[in-house]
Structure 1
Amino acid sequence: MIPADGHYPVLIVGAGPSGLMMAAQLLRYGVQPIIIDVKKGLTDQSRALAVQARSMEIYRQMGLADRALQEGIQAETVSIQNDHRELIKLSLQNLGKNTTPFPFVHLLEQSKNERLLLGFLTQNCCPVYWNTSLSDFLQEENRITAHLKSDDKRSTITADWLIGADGAHSFVRKKLQVDFKGDAYTNKFYLADIELNHCFEEKQVTLKMGDTAFTGFFPMKGVNRFRVVATLPKQFADREEVGFEEIKSDLSRSLPENVAIEKCHAFSIYKLHHRMASKFSDKKSFLIGDAAHIHSPVGGQGMNTGLQDAYNLAWKLAGVINQNLQPAILESYAEERMPVARRLLQTTDRFFNLINSQNVLNRFLRNQILPKLVHFFWKQEKFQAFGFETISQTGINYRDSKINLNFSKAETIKAGDRLPFIQIFDEKKKQQTDLHAWCAKPGFTFIALGKLKENDLFNLARWITQHYPQQLNFFYLPFSAKNKAVFDCFELKEDQHKAIIVRPDMYIGYLNDTIHVDLIDQYLEQVAGCIKAPKKQV
């Protein structure tokens, strides 16, 4: 199947996690994209294994979190070992307690994430055109002209915008002549989906950092199922193709003596790279996910970063398409996401070189120094909190972004931070909920904290209805004993006020210690680029 000739608002090239998330987010805003992929269907071999808490929060906003939890498994411990012994075992349970609805490391392989997102697309009548490739495209001032092919069929479509979600070898990126600087790691690796004869630490991630190889065991949903990521034995380094039976004996030596491999369901070898595009956008085209950045699998960050690229870009692009936001908002995509990708490349590259390097100094650091340091710091709550924020990606902020405005004297929370997850009592509905649930609907969310007069509330609601009826959701939370935690979090006393505007991606865009309509209007129109509703004719 190939899209019919015609004009479409957005063409997404690539139906991996990033492309599927991009399509799903656009659909939430009423934008119907076209999404194509050269593959025959969803991937059955995937290297991405973890869905971090920040991505789970996105799934929750989409109504997909419960199914994601059912399909995956929560890792309870991580065991770091060398060839001879266990160096350290760490608990992963409730690391982010009270900071997110998902205070754990959730193992859900890429293929299941893709099925989850594809189901969302199907429910919203958005097909994926499989076995369809982008053979060429021309980027003009006002549109993209794209030539598609599927077997012997051809079509030419036009689109207002083009999204390159087509992976590390991105045709879109190459056609745009965007540099993809970086390098490949020396060793080759293999991935194996194996079934063992009996239980082997069912909810434990096991990382074996040996003298000559690295092997990681990640539990999967199912009886005695594990995903293995490991260094390919040196004797196969120059081979283009290697079969599982050839490495089986090496892998078996990494298992406890009483555990044997019953079956291998999938096996592949690959090279790992660390690269980043020199720019994430060019006129009417954007790069997301692996098309924009690739890095080592340390910390399970890759797929999650791609999901959040899409999440960041989609609301801005949909706002422009729906004529709710000025086109200048699109510049903030690269401004916000490129520093995130750059930091991720630097940190994962350092850690990966440490755990994978075979030189004497690094082995000494891994076996003697690192375990003692981690064991010491892991006992401290602040270190655990920092570690979870980093791994879960809940600590990412956009404080330096031009589309945020901070007028608050609060020290802990600033505009540009992710909205804290706090349980609240909805005084209007008289029921328990949380701040994230309040911000589940598409659009910006205005939260007024502190006691307001009934007339002031009425004027606020009327002002929103007149000027931003489709863009701004409104919630009011007066002080009460049940909601003291919210006021404490935002450093607010009982008799004070605070205006919070949460962006559609659940980051705080505006923070002020007073509730002033003119200042809120200034932020929405001049900083965030919101377009006011036209005045009604009397």
Structure 2
Amino acid sequence: MISVPQHTSVLIVGAGPSGLMMAAQLLRNGVQPVIIDIKQGPTNQSKALAVQARSLEIYRQLGIVDKIISEGKQAGGLAFNMGGEQLVSISLKDMGEPQTLFPFIHLYPQSKNERALLEYLTTACCPVYWETTLISLTRNNNTLQVSMQNGNTTFKLSCDYIIGADGAHSVVRKQLGIPFTGDTYQHKFYLADIELASAMDGRQVNLFVGKSGFAGFFPMPQEGSFRVVASLPDGLEDREYLQLSDVLPELENITRAKIEVDHINWFTTYKLHHRMAEKFSDGRCFLIGDAAHIHSPVGGQGMNTGLQDAYNLGWKLAAVVNGQIKEDILGSYAAERVPVAKDLLNTTDHMFNVITSRSWFSGLLKRYVIPNALKLVWKNESMRGYFFKQVSQTGISYRDSKINLQLGHSGKIKAGDRLPYLEIYDEKKKAKTDIHAWCNKPGFTLITLGEIKESFLFTLAKWITQDYNGNINFFHLPPSENNQHIFDVFEVKTGARKALIIRPDMHIGYINDAVDIEMMNNYLRNIVGFIS
């Protein structure tokens, strides 16, 4: 029989990537959650494969990115094939430079993501209660009462907040009665993790399209291993107990190549859905990841979006639980993440429908329009950079959020945007660092730019220490030839100043051309909701 506390501030239901990241973010910010999952343990199936740059930036903050980089590999390129002919091939290598420290698509399966996060939780002495099912959820004023079952034992637990990270069939969402609207794609698909004897580029994503369907070969970290995602051939969609050998003839027909398989690690058939919860929060209950939204696998966005859901909500919830920020800030989670999910759902849906459609018009698009469009985009540096921003999720902005404040000159970078990645030369230490590294510690970060007297810098440091009890980190960057590019990016003219307050999720919360304590205090107290 397991021993679960009778009360917890936060209960997380679901220990997939989103739930584990949620627990990691709470722990990083000083809150110990309880996390349960119906499964026996972490998945041993690869599932999601791509880790985008924005997720790697989150892993860097957690201090575990080196492990993730060393155990995966960078996607080197993308080839688009039709009728046995390669219509276009583009390089994906370091395509996002200099936008991020991780300017690539990293191939690192979900199973390894889960284990990396579990190691982080274990180090912080936060167990996952496996084989534990949520039976019921009731609300009593500001307390939530849940009934759970482990084996033959049923037990109760009270909590202040509950996070539904329990996937597309979320029990939390169903208990709350939140509709999960959307649709199911027409055709059925199969997924296979295989080791190939036949030659295929182990760093290149190969997409094959034909009149009868499509197939994608995605290289996995292990040499010679590939994830194959393909449409199920006509005539097999209703057959039970399918094996790879049943679909291999059609796969070879689409690829126009002999597929020699050394070993099959995983084979499954499934229907794909695109659905979204009507709302992402209800009182003290929140939905993240697949419990809130599911969509097609185009672009490797699903797992990464769930990780960002947790990243967005985690610091806010921890600040409320710790009594630092008023509870009103929790309303910004849904306000910021629902538009992201809607845009993603629409984009991936349109792209997936084009790729999987068997109409003559779609065939024309795939043979002539898509390859030429890719060639055009890749020749143009700015268009290539835009493409990377969308895929990497570094382009996500919360400019319309009510917890941001833009003052002074309105430049290219605004409050709500992700803090751009910029290298910094530390004049005192005579060493290189970067602006993201300045935001590695939990909490908000104040960054001032320009010529500021040392006495006023001491005043700023004293204000932060006395009024915010160490919950705001502080860095100052004076003008220098080595760091002029940073002043150019933030449009700080000679002799001018700028103040930035960076949220814990590395989005800019506040920008002002003046370094004014009263204005910053107004932002932190009245807009963010810091408690005196």
After TM superposition, is the score higher than 0.5? Answer: yes
Question: What amino acid does structure 2 have at the position aligned with 1:287?
Answer: L
- Whether 2:4 is the aligned partner of 1:9: answer no
Structure 1 residue 75 displacement after superposition: 0.7
Counterpart for residue 126 of structure 2: 126
Displacement of 1:154 in angstroms is 1.6
Amino acid at match of 2:7: H
Q: Residues 359-403 of structure 1: CA distance to partner in whole angstroms, max 9, x if unpaired?
A: 010111111122112212320001101100000000000000000
Contact 2:208 2:255 in 1 (8 A): no
Partner of 2:103: 103
Q: State the distance in 2 between where 1:177 and 1:258 align.
A: 50
CA shift for structure 1 position 250: 2.8
Distance, in Å, in 2 between the alignment partners of 1:377 and 1:441 is 37
Q: Gaps spanning 5+ residues in structure 1: where?
A: 533-538
Q: Is the 8 A contact 2:319 2:325 kept in 1?
A: yes
Structure 1 position 235, deviation (Å): 1.6
The equivalences for 1:440-519 within 5 A come to 440-519=440-519
Q: Identify the residue that residue 89 of structure 2 maps to in structure 1.
A: 89
User: 2:355 maps to which residue?
Assistant: 355
In structure 1, what residue type is equivalent to 2:508? I
Question: Are the equivalent residues in 2 in contact too, given 1:200–1:259 (CA < 8 A)?
Answer: no
Cα distance in structure 1, aligned partners of 2:417 and 2:3: 40
1:452-479 deviation digits (Å, cap 9, x = unpaired): 1111111111111110123100001100
What does 1:45-194 correspond to in 2, within 5 Å? 45-194=45-194
Given that residues 340 and 396 in structure 1 are in contact (C-alpha distance below 8 angstroms), is that contact kept between their aligned partners in structure 2? yes
Question: Displacement of 1:252 after TM fit?
Answer: 4.0
Q: CA deviation at 1:209?
A: 1.5
Cα deviations by residue, 1:62-120 (Å, 9 ceiling, x for unpaired): 11111111111101110011133111111111211011000011111111111111111
Secondary structure of the 1:236 match is coil
- The DSSP-based 3-state class of the residue aligned with 1:113 is helix
Report how far residue 248 of structure 1 moved.
Answer: 3.0
Deviations 1:249-286 (A, max 9, x none): 33344556465111101111111000010100001100
**Separation in structure 1 between the aligned mates of residue 175 and residue 239 of structure 2, nearest angstrom:** 31
- Check whether the contact 2:95–2:103 (CA below 8 A) recurs between aligned residues: yes
Q: What residue is the counterpart of 2:231 in the other structure?
A: 231
Which residue in the other structure is 2:248 paired with? 248
| Residues 44 and 255 (structure 1), Cα distance of their counterparts in 2 relative to 1, 3 Å cut | farther
Deviation sequence 1:210-257 (CA, Å, 0-9, x none): 111111101111121001111112222113432223223333445564
Counterpart in the other structure of 2:19: 19
Q: How far off its partner does 1:198 sit?
A: 4.6
The unaligned stretches of length 5 or more in structure 2 are none
The aligned amino acid for 1:218 is F
- Which residue matches 1:206? 206
1:338 aligns with 2:332: no
Distance 1:428 1:521, change over 3 A: farther
Could you tell me which amino acid in structure 2 is paired with residue 168 of structure 1?
A
Pair 1:235–1:3, CA change in 2 (3 A):
farther
The separation in 2 between residues aligned to 1:198 and 1:222, in whole angstroms, is: 15
- Cα deviation for residue 4 of structure 1 reads 2.5
CA-based RMSD: 1.3
Count of aligned positions = 532
The whole-number CA distance in structure 1 between the counterparts of 2:407 and 2:37 is 45
Choose 474-483 or 78-87, whichever is displaced more: 78-87
Aligned letter for 2:167?
G
Alpha-carbon contact 1:448-1:498 (below 8 Å) kept: yes
Instruction: Assess if the C-alpha contact under 8 Å between 2:87 and 2:371 holds in 1.
Output: yes
- Secondary structure in 1 matching 2:99: coil
Instruction: Tell me the distance in 2 between the aligned counterparts of 1:13 and 1:304.
Output: 19
Deviation track 1:412-464 (CA, whole Å, cap 9, x = no partner) reads 10000000100001234332100000000000000010111111111111111
Give 1:199 shift. 4.0
Output the CA distance in 2 between the equivalents of 1:517 and 1:384.
40
Deviating more after overlay: 426-435 vs 338-347:
426-435
**How far does the alpha carbon of each residue in 1:272-321 deviate from its partner, in whole angstroms, 9 at most, with x for none?**
00001010000110000000000000100000000000000000000000
Asked if structure 1 preserves the Cα contact closer than 8 Å seen for 2:210 and 2:254, the reply is no
Q: Partners in 2 of 1:83 and 1:184 — Cα distance?
A: 28
The two structures have a TM-score, normalised by structure 1, of: 0.97
**Partner AA of 1:81 in structure 2:** N
Q: Which residue of 1 aligns with 2:369?
A: 369
SS in 1 for 2:163: strand
Q: Structure 2: which amino acid aligns with 1:488?
A: D
- 1:259 and 1:186 map into 2 onto residues whose CA distance is 27
CA contact (8 A) 2:464 2:470 kept: no
Mapped partners of 2:294, 2:164: distance in 1: 14
Q: Is the Cα contact below 8 Å between 1:389 and 1:395 reproduced in 2? A: yes
Q: Distance in 2 between matches of 1:135 and 1:179?
A: 19
Measure the CA separation in 2 of the matches of 1:200 and 1:209.
17
d(CA) in 1 for partners of 2:191, 2:512: 50
Secondary structure of residue in 2 paired with 1:316: helix
Please say if residues 50 and 107 of structure 2, whose CA atoms lie closer than 8 Å, have aligned partners that are also in contact.
Answer: yes
**Larger mean Cα displacement after TM superposition, 215-224 or 331-340:** 215-224
In structure 2, what is the equivalent of residue 310 of structure 1? 310
- Between 1:201-210 and 1:500-509, the stretch displaced more is 201-210
Residue 464 of structure 2 aligns with an amino acid whose one-letter code is I
Q: How many angstroms apart in 1 are the aligned matches of 2:27 and 2:328?
A: 22
- In structure 2, how many angstroms separate the alpha carbons of the residues matched to 1:498 and 1:3? 52
Summarize the Cα distance change of 1:33–1:271 in structure 2 as closer, same or farther, 3 Å threshold: same
Aligned partner letter, 2:402: K
Q: Secondary structure at the match of 1:425?
A: strand
Contact 1:100 1:421 (C-alpha < 8 Å) held by counterparts: yes
What corresponds to 1:394 in structure 2? 394
Cα-to-partner distance string for 1:172-214 (whole Å, 9 max, x where unaligned): 0011010111000011111111001154101000011211111
Contact 1:398 1:416 in 2 (8 A): yes
Cα separation, 1, equivalents of 2:327 and 2:400: 20
| Secondary structure in 1 matching 2:531 | coil
Name the residue aligned to 1:430: 430
